[in-house]
Chains A and B, each alone.
Chain A
Amino acid sequence: MTRLLQTTDAGLYCPPGNFYIDPWRPVERAVITHAHADHARPGSAAYLAATPGEHLMRTRLGADIDLQCLDYGESITENGVTVSLHPAGHVLGSAQIRLEYQGEIAVVAGDYKVTPDPTCATFEPVKCHTFVTESTFGLPIYRWETSEEIFAGVDRWWRANRDAKKTSVIFAYALGKAQRVMAGVDASIGPIYLHGATEVVTRAYRASGVALPETKPVSAESRKHEFAGSLVIAPPSAAGTPWMRKFEPYSDAMASGWMRVRGTRRRRALDRGFVLSDHADWPGLLWAIEATGADNVLVTHGSTHELARYLRERGKNADVLATHFQGEADEPTVNGAEAVE
């Protein structure tokens, strides 16, 4: 471990700087990697986050939170610790947190992906001594196709449904994944409708200046409205609810990295599973870790033991960083998958 970071009951703590990173309990000063619910929790007295994520932070945590924003690359000093934020490529405003204190550098990556995404800034490796990496998809079976290939598949599915006069319903996490889907599909195929939860977040994306195709909220339409031919983007929790009835006949799909495995795909009993993730795949994790040049790697979030052991066998000083969220589950369940993606 490093003297820059310490795990506590409230979360990851930087003792010399006297602030927390993504704390799960209210604290005095919280530095936030991104606005997902398992990273940005309400109730802290003061927050620090990246400027592109400001609207999302306020949407999620409340308009009146005490929020200080830093542009990517800009730095401030907190009790002698230099703090700067760098693109993590995960969702809009997601940041790796770089800490420098008396010549020692640690980077907490939060959630990240290394492939480009039109809705957020691309991941930039930051040189450091200690790198805290996630490992949501920390097994070599997880490898992603390019966005172009994935969206070609989504477009084919949507077009075929449209031609068969069906609605296409795609389940995607409301923050990040949903916007990546709307930015990635060929919007000329048909209209795009959003579930209420997705609509709220999408507004924050637009307010932040992210270019997205035109969408309409499902709720604005009358009960009798025809959705045939359109694409409906909804959070995974909408699957199997009575809300879905208005889209009959429909084909449903899930956009998630977990869809890479046939068993997970089949367990959801959906028509399609698109392997679209906002997390790094196995080669992405290894590339990112290598690119930081870090000798010490702390692994959190997912297949921690596997990734840490693999790194150790390759000569890194790697260990598992225990966090609150791993609980007793040794791998994410289907519901857990929704929470982290």
Chain B
Amino acid sequence: MRDFARLFTALDETTKTTEKVDALVAYFRTAPPADAAWAVYFLTGRKPRQAVAAAKLRAWAGEIANVPTWLLDECYEAVGDAAEVVALLIPSAQSTTELGLAGWVETRLLPLRALADDEQKGAILAAWRELDLAECFVWNKLITGGFRVGVSQLLVTRALAKVAALPQDVIAHRLMGTWEPTPAFAAELVAPDSGASDASRPYPFFLAHQLDGEPAALGEPSEWQAEWKWDGIRSQLIRRAGQTFLWSRGEELVTERYPELAALGDKLPDGTALDGEILPWSGAGIMPFAQLQKRIGRKTVGKKLLADIPVVLMAYDLLELAGTDLRPSPLSDRRAKLDALIPQVSDARLQPSAVVPFASWEDLTVVRRESRARQVEGLMLKRLASPYRVGRVTGDWWKWKVEPYTVDAVLIYAQKGHGKRANLYTDYTFGVWEGGRLVPIAKAYSGLTDAEIREVDAFIRRNTTETFGPVRTVKPELVFELGFEGIQLSPRHKSGIATRFPRVLRRRADKPAAEADTLENVRRLLTPGAPS
């Protein structure tokens, strides 16, 4: 546990990527395989089911630290993190522990779930007595399932590749899919490349970057392919060894949730891997994303849901054909092979993501304006000569989203942020006018610069009219321009509308609150095609 806590601290202390990788390499070089397996498990964002609720930990910590509830709440306000506040409050460790990470997880953490309340409490208090501040913080994070360290899977992959002296994509491949954090897995992770990969394994997804400027900066239009940017679930459909596997981008095997795509997979030739988007599709065309959401959470789907919200795979890349990894070949070749494959399969559930023809960037700019009417998020620009890369490598794939919907809204409530911003008011609720009142339409975490955040924070503190627990009601004075990815009708919201991915675009210091948008204005922006 000590080494893992030290690794956590080292990762937490630096913002420099190279130093993070160095810390990971140093850890994996010396960690016993059992510990290394669990470290990979947690560092790549996997977590066992939450063993004990954070509120219980807090209450127990308050009890042993002799801190009344109201003061505990004040401490939480100042810290902003339940696991940390507990670690800071409890008495210092009375002994040290030599038990490694795997031991702590397997013999101390996992059994917690099966224990009765008072047994849990006993086990946790015993653990706290053995762990120093850093260890205790990590332990609490592991228990509450909130373990995040600002390390991406890519960094873990880089570090393991260094330790194993293997190419990164071999490691990335081994890290995908389902695996158990066993010593055997840790050993396999860094074992020499045998070439024998599990039939189910998807390829690491290649991710696009946001294009912020104009596409002219990308050079010759003829070197690029444009497609619509679909608003669905990124996935890989794989057919190997007579079996079908459907993977979502969260590296989750979702074959059973989409039986129509499982059936489609069975029709693919053996040794095929398609990259595409799962989209809800009625006979008339694409349905709103909200419809797809009804299927996302379901492990099993009933007949009615299948009939009401059928899905298709909008394929845009072919990663493997006849068992050959096509990723090193250029997109133009892969696309030609995909276009040849789709008619062979001849199934309406497999559709090609149409290539949008264009001669100049100006043309494309005009075409992009159709995005909203087509219910897509904008365009994807892919370099025709590019291989299919691993992860988020800049330069070859760009998402060129349409301008989000924008609304000028007034800051009405504020709450403190968490983690890095625990002492500043950075979580805002915004309202628009309706009949002389401001109705809340969006909650957004700050999209402001640090200087602006401080200014707004100071404003909030000076202009609080009421407080409800952590929430402050603020004098309606500051106007902000908000951006949304979408707006839909929603009977569940006070304003009658729901905003998707709201964010603060800028402060409108030039606008008095009275001139902010009205709910009527916002309703006019309603996403076309949304259920109404």
Select B421's contact among A141, A267, A306, A313, beta carbons within 8 Å: A267
User: Are A269 and B15 within 8 A (Cβ)?
Assistant: yes
Residue B267 CB within 8 A of the other chain = no
Q: How far is A210 from B68 in the complex, measured between Cα atoms in Å?
A: 43
Interface flag for B155 (CB, 8 Å): no
With both chains docked as a complex, state the minimum distance between the C-beta of A318 and any C-beta of chain B, in angstroms: 14
B242-295 residues with Cβ-Cβ distance < 8 A to A are none
User: Is the beta-carbon distance between B74 and A328 smaller than 8 angstroms?
Assistant: no
Across the interface, do B423 and A140 meet the contact criterion of CB distance under 8 Å? no
Determine whether the beta carbon of B85 is less than 8 Å from that of A263.
no
**Hey, which chain B residues are within 8 Å of A143, CB to CB?**
88
Q: How far is the CB of A247 from chain B (nearest CB, A)?
A: 16
Is B78 close to A, CB under 8 A? yes
> Given the complex of chains A and B, what is the CA–CA distance between A313 and B74 in angstroms?
16
B12 touches A139 (CB 8 A): no
The answer to whether A140 and B13 touch across the interface, beta carbons within 8 angstroms, is no
The complex places the Cα of A140 from the Cα of B89 at a distance, in Å, of 6
Is B462 a contact partner of A328 (Cβ separation < 8 A)?
Answer: yes
Q: Is the CB of B523 closer than 8 A to any CB of chain A?
A: no
Q: Does A75 contact B (CB under 8 A)?
A: no
Shortest beta-carbon distance from B80 to chain A in Å = 5
Which residues of chain A have C-beta atoms less than 8 A from B84's C-beta? 261-262
Complex Cα gap A87–B513 (Å): 54
A263 adjacent to B419 (CB under 8 Å): yes
Beta-carbon contact of B454 and A333 below 8 Å:
yes
B410 within 8 A of A: no
- Interface centre among B70, B81, B88, B419, by most chain A C-beta atoms within 10 angstroms, is B88
Q: A129 on the interface (CB 8 Å rule)?
A: no
- Are the C-beta atoms of B14 and A328 separated by less than 8 Å? no
Interface presence of B393 (CB below 8 A): no
Q: How far is the CB of A150 from chain B (nearest CB, A)?
A: 13
A310, CB-defined interface residue at 8 Å:
yes
Contacts of A272 in B (CB 8 A): 13
CB contact under 8 A between A139 and B422, given known A260-B88, A266-B12, A329-B461: no
B136 to chain A, nearest CB (A): 13
Contacts of A300 in B (CB 8 A): none
Q: Which residues of A contact B81 (CB under 8 A)?
A: 262-263
Closest residue of chain A to B66, judged by CB? Answer: A140
CB-based nearest B residue for A269: B15
A residues 299-317 near B (Cβ < 8 Å) are 303, 306, 309-310, 313
Digitize B73-91: 1 where CB-to-A-CB distance is under 8 Å, 0 elsewhere. Answer: 0110011110011001100
Bin chain A's interface residue count.
Answer: 20 to 34
Taking residues whose C-beta sits less than 8 angstroms from the other chain, chain B's interface range is: 20 to 34
Residues of A within 8 A of B75 (CB): 139-141
- Shortest CB-to-CB span from B468 to chain A, Å, is 15
A159 to B215, CA, bound (A): 49
Q: Name the residue of chain A whose CB is nearest to the CB of B92.
A: A143
Q: Return the CB mask of B441-477 against A: 1 if under 8 Å, else 0.
A: 0000000000000100110011000000000000000
With A260-B88, A313-B68 known as contacts, the answer to whether A266 contacts B461 (CB < 8 A) is no
B71 at interface, CB cutoff 8 A:
yes
Docked Cα-Cα span, A155 to B85, in Å, equals 27
- Measured CB to CB, the closest approach of chain A to B321, in angstroms, equals 47
Interface check A186, CB cutoff 8 A: no
Residue of B nearest to A264 (CB): B423
Q: With an 8 A cutoff between CB atoms, is B54 at the interface? A: no
Contact residue among B15, B65, B80, B454 (Cβ-Cβ distance under 8 Å from A263): B80
Contacts of A124 in B (CB 8 A): none
Flag if A140 contacts B12 (CB, 8 Å).
no
A120-167 interface (Cβ within 8 A of B): 139-141, 143
**Cα separation A190 to B461 with both chains bound (whole Å):** 45
Give the docked Cα–Cα distance between A272 and B12 (Å). Answer: 10
- Docked-complex contact B65 and A140, CB < 8 angstroms: yes
Chain A residues 242 to 284 lying within 8 A of chain B, measured CB to CB, are 260-264, 266-267, 269, 271-272
A140 to chain B: closest residue by CB: B67
- A140 and B419 CA atoms in complex are apart in Å by 19
B420 at the interface (CB under 8 A from A): yes
Residues of B within 8 A of A214 (CB): none
Give A268's nearest chain B residue, CB to CB.
Answer: B420
A266–B421 Cα distance when bound, in Å, is 9
Give A303 to B70 CA distance when docked, in angstroms: 13
Q: A71 near B: Cβ within 8 Å?
A: no
Say how far B82's CB is from chain A's closest CB, in angstroms: 12
Q: Are B461 and A141 in contact (CB under 8 A)?
A: no
Task: Evaluate contact between A263 and B89: CB separation under 8 angstroms.
Answer: no
Q: State the Cβ distance, A241 to closest chain B Cβ, in Å.
A: 16
Cβ of A204 to closest chain B Cβ, rounded Å: 33
Using known A-B contacts A261-B79, A313-B68, determine if residue A266 contacts B88 with beta carbons closer than 8 Å.
Answer: no
Determine the chain B residues whose CB is within 8 A of the CB of A271 once the complex forms.
13-14
Closest A residue to B462 by CB, please name it. Answer: A328
Is the CB–CB distance between B420 and A266 below 8 Å? yes
In the complex, A331 has a CB within 8 A of chain B: yes
Collect the chain B residues with CB atoms within 8 Å of residue A9's CB: none
A330 at the interface (CB under 8 A from B): yes
Query: By the criterion CB–CB under 8 Å, are B78 and A331 in contact?
Result: yes
**A143 and B85 alpha carbons, distance in the complex (Å):** 12
| Contacting residues of chain B (73-121) with chain A, CB-CB under 8 angstroms | 74-75, 78-81, 84-85, 88-89
Interface pair B79/A140, CB less than 8 Å apart: no
Instruction: Assess the A303–B74 pair: CB atoms within 8 A.
Output: yes
- Contacts of B65 on A, CB cut-off 8 Å? 140
- Chain A nearest Cβ from B242, distance in angstroms: 50
Known: A141-B75, A271-B14. A309 touches B88 (CB 8 A): no
- The residue of chain A having its C-beta at the shortest distance from the C-beta of B86 within the complex is A141
| Cα separation A328 to B459 with both chains bound (whole Å) | 10
* Distance from A65 Cβ to chain B, minimum over Cβ atoms (Å): 34
With a cutoff of 8 Å between Cβ atoms, the chain B residues found around residue A333 in the complex are: 423-424, 454, 457
B454 touches A306 (CB 8 A): no
B71: which A residues are within 8 A, CB to CB? 139-140, 306, 309-310
Given contacts A262-B12, A266-B12, A306-B71, 17 further A-B contacts (CB under 8 A): A139-B71, A140-B71, A140-B75, A141-B79, A141-B88, A141-B89, A262-B84, A262-B137, A263-B419, A263-B420, A267-B421, A272-B13, A306-B74, A328-B461, A333-B423, A333-B424, A333-B457
In the A-B complex, the 7 residue pairs with the smallest Cβ-Cβ separation, listed nearest first, are: A263-B422, A141-B88, A266-B420, A141-B75, A328-B462, A328-B461, A140-B67
A-B contact pairs, 5 of them (CB 8 A): A141-B85, A266-B419, A267-B420, A306-B74, A333-B454
On B, residues with C-beta under 8 Å from A are 12-15, 65, 67-68, 70-71, 74-75, 78-81, 84-85, 88-89, 137, 418-424, 454, 457-458, 461-462
Q: CB within 8 Å of B: which residues of A?
A: 139-141, 143, 260-264, 266-267, 269, 271-272, 303, 306, 309-310, 313, 328-331, 333-334
